[in-house]
Amino acid sequence: MSAGIVFHLLAALAYAVLAISLWRPLSKGGSQVATGKVRRVCLASAIVLHGIALAQAILPQHSLHLGWALALSAAIWLGMVIFWLEHLVMRIDGLLLILLPAATVAALLAGLFPHGHIVAHANNEWLRVHLIIALTAYGLITVAALQAMLMTALDRQLHKPIEQESNRSILGRALDTMPPLLLQEVLLFRLIWIGFAILTLTVVTGAIVSMRLTSELAPMDHKTVFTLLSWFTFGILLLGRYMRGWRGRLALRWTLVGFAFLLLSYSGSRFVLDVILQRG
């Protein structure tokens, strides 16, 4: 068993324990989510374990190894790092109720499905820069998508008839602990703006790499097509936000569509090849 698998499984266990520790009080009728100093230290340790797992799995013996599960794991890890930084300046503890289960699943999948492929031309500096930028964009937009899903659930919860506290489900109590929708919308569009900027750099550096390696500006494969579709989707969303004040459910739908395109650009296609068709 490789070190990458071991560290991914350890990270999954750490995330799972933290998730249970936050969800358990809600299952017993609690209505507050507070990380506290001990949980913050434990969360930081889990993120470090996850980062070591990715370094061991993606950079074995000075090569570059990628697969659908590793790409998803890297995206969620970057999202956890972003949450940690945002958490220092904003009270968003409740978001851990969705981020920790997502991180658990992503780390577990990377441990169970470590297979992938060695990236050709791994020594090319531009290619390495491009991959780092692409994974960063992937991470930011993945967190934005999780945020959009959470906001959709919270919006529906707010439009339901008010229930007595004793009759409320654990999900209802969990949603009550989330930051206000307006605060979440500010965070969502901050993530989308930064993610769009980095996705733009991904497109630019991808074109440079393609020109250097194949003399083509943009090969029309599935990764290029879906990445460009995602870029256009987020560009239209931000333009609509700036010019027409798009927000609420309309903005959430565009966010999820853009994320779906980005997911299909790599992880979705590699999942089909590596798992369903078993073509590594």
What's the Rg (C-alpha) of the chain?
A: 20
Model pLDDT, residue 273: 47
Q: What is the pLDDT of residue 174?
A: 66
Structure tokens at 78: 């970057």
DSSP string, the chain: --HHHHHHHHHHHHHHHHHHHHHHHHHTT------HHHHHHHHHHHHHHHHHHHHHHHSGGGS-EE-HHHHHHHHHHHHHHHHHHHHTTS--GGGHHHHHHHHHHHHHHHHH----EEPTTTT-HHHHHHHHHHHHHHHHHHHHHHHHHHHHHHHHHHTSPP--GGG--HHHHHHHTSPPHHHHHHHHHHHHHHHHHHHHHHHHHHHHHHHHHHS-S---SHHHHHHHHHHHHHHHHHHHHHHH---HHHHHHHHHHHHHHHHIIIIIHHHIIIIIS---
CA separation for the pair 212, 27 (Å, rounded): 56
Per-residue pLDDT of the chain (280 residues; tens, 9 = 90+): 688 889 999 999 999 999 888 877 776 665 566 667 788 888 999 999 999 999 888 877 667 777 778 888 888 898 888 888 877 776 667 778 888 999 999 999 999 888 766 666 666 777 778 888 888 888 888 888 888 888 887 777 776 665 544 445 656 666 666 777 788 888 889 889 999 999 999 989 988 888 877 777 666 777 888 889 999 999 999 999 989 888 888 889 999 999 988 888 766 545 444 544 454 4
Q: Cα angle at 103 between 232 and 173, to 5 degrees? A: 95
Bridge partners for 65 per DSSP: 118
pLDDT for the residue 105: 94
**The whole model's pTM is what?**
0.77
Query: What's residue 119's pLDDT?
Result: 66
Q: Report the pLDDT value the prediction gives residue 180, as an integer from 0 to 100.
A: 77
Q: What is the pLDDT of residue 104?
A: 94
Domain locations along the chain: 3-276
Closest CA to 149 of 253, 232, 236, 75: 253
Burial of 96 (0-12, 13-18, 19+ CB in 10 A): buried
